[in-house]
Amino acid sequence: MVERGQGAADLRGRGQRADRRPRGDGAGGAHPAPVAEPVERPDRHLLEAEHVRPVGGREPDHLLEERRPLRRLRVAVEEVPGPDEQGRKSRLAAVQIVLADPPAFTPQYDHELAAALARAGADVRLLTSRFRFGETPAPENYERDERLYPLSSRLFGRSRMRLPLRALEHVGVLFELGRVRAGILHFQWLAWPQLDRRLRFHVPAVFTAHDLLPRRTAGKTRLWRELLARFERVVVHSERGRETIAQLGVEAERLRVIPHPVFPSDPPRADDGRTLLCFGVIRPYKGLEDAIEALRRLDGTRLLVAGDPLEPVEPYRERAHGLDVDWRLGYLSQREVDRAFGEATLALFPYRPELDQSGALLRALGAGVPAVAYDVGGIAEPVRRFGAGRVVPAGDVEALAAAARELLDDPAALEAARAGARRAREELTWDRAAAAHLELYRELA
């Protein structure tokens, strides 16, 4: 399915040359003798129509006396791009940016980036599959093309029965990606790295390493060295991510750090001052058991678990027996997401060291909720940079509980952390991320 947002058709019209006007040089190129010509001031500004008069053979065709020039409207110009910069911008305006998320792992991120690039004047196409777990935002001046995995993304739900069909469809996905013959192809995710190394690019290709090395293939460093070597640029979200990817042989000139923007929101506040939140898809690397153990060390505190479980939750429920835990499971609507963040005093991120950045963390900061996080991947960087909570050593449950207790028991410290979350929301914007991406694309256009 191809869906185009309001105004996207206008973007495609940019850069087209206007029809040339016919030349006004008369028959055979000869200029006829003037009968009447507009008189010009010495400063070359045309007079009004009533000043037109016949011109004799030996008369001057402009006034001989000095007159004050017409005043021009003065407009402040902050910056005038040089010829080279103008050329680069015009070249990029004629190039389509194809954002590729074949498995539709991060539809909200894809949407926000595509919309921000479109706001900056880029022609953007999002090539993806149907998101299986809920609605996606309507395109905003970009094209969303959901032709990938047409059957497995619509049939069988979460059943593993879809996997053989998905494997067959992946051949078609490789074909569709290989058909991109113009523009810049920017991968957000690779659905099947072992087969994706067969991709043949016909345009400049970029890859964003959201998970530094995806969990299922993290141990296959030779595979990832081979894959990453095929991209002209690799984007990471943190300095920690840069160091990790550089160890796989990606040269510094091919690496770019573009911080993950926040997802801004303003949920109604219903915070009781003692609620911890674990938000997002429930997977083993999220460290939910550590959050439960931290809760056990905090008196009078509630834990809200809000997210879609992709693993059995019964072991977690048994571990949390006797504790104040509110389970809100399943794929949550935006209203339920806002409700969860509105009730949260702090958000916990006791993650394992398997990813560069967390969309759930950026949602929390965007909602003004401070975070207590393990020092893994790039998760700690925005928390430290903006003072938006606390960072503790990875795997240290005692430190996790102590940091949460400090903020819950000290109103001034909690307010300072909330102010840090607001600073992150003001600075980590999608428009700034889009500008950084466009600069990267200009290097390749």
Q: Which residues make Cβ contacts (< 8 Å) with residue 244, sequence separation at least 6?
A: 212, 213, 236, 356
Q: Which residues make Cβ contacts (< 8 Å) with residue 286, sequence separation at least 6?
A: 278, 280, 350, 351, 352
| H-type alpha helices, 299-357 | 314-319, 334-343
pTM of the entire predicted model: 0.77
Quick one: pLDDT at residue 7? Answer: 47
Q: Are residues 94 and 192 located together in one domain of the fold?
A: yes
Q: Are residues 375 and 414 located together in one domain of the fold?
A: yes
Please indicate, yes or no, if residue 46 is contained in any of the structural domains. no
Nearest to 37 by CA among 19, 23, 49, 25: 49
Please indicate, yes or no, if residue 406 is contained in any of the structural domains. yes
Please indicate, yes or no, if residue 13 is contained in any of the structural domains. no
CATH number at residue 439: 3.40.50.2000
**What are the residues facing 186 on neighbouring strands?**
99, 206
Query: Token pair 């394992």 is at which residue?
Result: 352
End-to-end CA, the chain: 28
Q: Which residues make Cβ contacts (< 8 Å) with residue 421, sequence separation at least 6?
A: 364, 365, 367, 368, 369, 370, 371, 386, 388, 389
Q: Are residues 372 and 404 located together in one domain of the fold?
A: yes
How many angstroms separate the Cα of 106 from the Cα of each of 111, 130, 137, 330? 9, 11, 12, 17
Q: Are residues 93 and 190 located together in one domain of the fold?
A: yes
What is the distance between the alpha carbons of residues 347 and 294, in angstroms, rounded to a whole number?
12
Instruction: Please give the order of strands across the beta sheet that includes 123-129.
Output: 2-4, 143-148, 123-129, 96-101, 184-187, 205-208, 233-236, 255-257
* Furthest C-alpha separation in the chain: 108
What is the distance between the alpha carbons of residues 116 and 436, in angstroms, rounded to a whole number?
11
With the C-alpha atoms ordered 149, 154, 158, 160, is the resulting torsion angle positive or negative? Answer: negative
Report the DSSP pairing between strands 205-208 and 184-187: parallel
Please indicate, yes or no, if residue 79 is contained in any of the structural domains. no
Token readout for 28 is: 């055979």
Q: Are residues 375 and 435 located together in one domain of the fold?
A: no
Nearest to 115 by CA among 4, 24, 201: 4
Q: Are residues 295 and 419 located together in one domain of the fold?
A: yes
How many angstroms separate the Cα of 224 from the Cα of each of 2, 34, 234, 247, 253? 32, 76, 12, 11, 18
Q: Are residues 255 and 322 located together in one domain of the fold?
A: no
Please indicate, yes or no, if residue 69 is contained in any of the structural domains. no
DSSP structure class, residue 377: T
What is the distance between the alpha carbons of residues 161 and 166, in angstroms, rounded to a whole number?
9
For the chain, the domain total comes to 2
| H-type alpha helices, 191-263 | 193-196, 221-228, 239-246
**Which regions of the chain are under pLDDT 70?**
1-94, 213-219, 354
Token readout for 14 is: 């940019």
Quick one: pLDDT at residue 435? Answer: 98
Q: Which residues make Cβ contacts (< 8 Å) with residue 179, sequence separation at least 6?
A: none
Q: Are residues 289 and 238 located together in one domain of the fold?
A: no
Nearest to 277 by CA among 299, 243, 301, 242: 301
**What are the residues facing 62 on neighbouring strands?**
40
| H-type alpha helices, 355-429 | 359-366, 380-386, 397-409, 411-427
What is the distance between the alpha carbons of residues 88 and 94, in angstroms, rounded to a whole number?
10
Angle at 20 between CA 16 and CA 25, to 5 degrees: 165
Region of 78 please: left (phi>0), alpha (psi -120 to 50) or beta: alpha
pLDDT in tens, 117-135: 999 999 999 999 999 887 8
Quick one: pLDDT at residue 216? Answer: 57
Please indicate, yes or no, if residue 110 is contained in any of the structural domains. yes
Domain of residue 370 covers 275-427
Q: Are residues 244 and 339 located together in one domain of the fold?
A: no
Quick one: pLDDT at residue 50? Answer: 41
Please indicate, yes or no, if residue 12 is contained in any of the structural domains. no
What is the distance between the alpha carbons of residues 345 and 165, in angstroms, rounded to a whole number?
44
pLDDT in tens, 24-49: 444 444 444 444 444 444 343 333 44
Q: Which residues make Cβ contacts (< 8 Å) with residue 386, sequence separation at least 6?
A: 365, 420, 421, 423, 424, 427
Quick one: pLDDT at residue 291? Answer: 98
Q: Are residues 93 and 232 located together in one domain of the fold?
A: yes
Nearest to 287 by CA among 242, 343, 350: 350
Q: Are residues 415 and 436 located together in one domain of the fold?
A: no
pLDDT in tens, 346-357: 999 999 876 778
Quick one: pLDDT at residue 63? Answer: 42
Please indicate, yes or no, if residue 201 is contained in any of the structural domains. yes
Q: Are residues 196 and 312 located together in one domain of the fold?
A: no
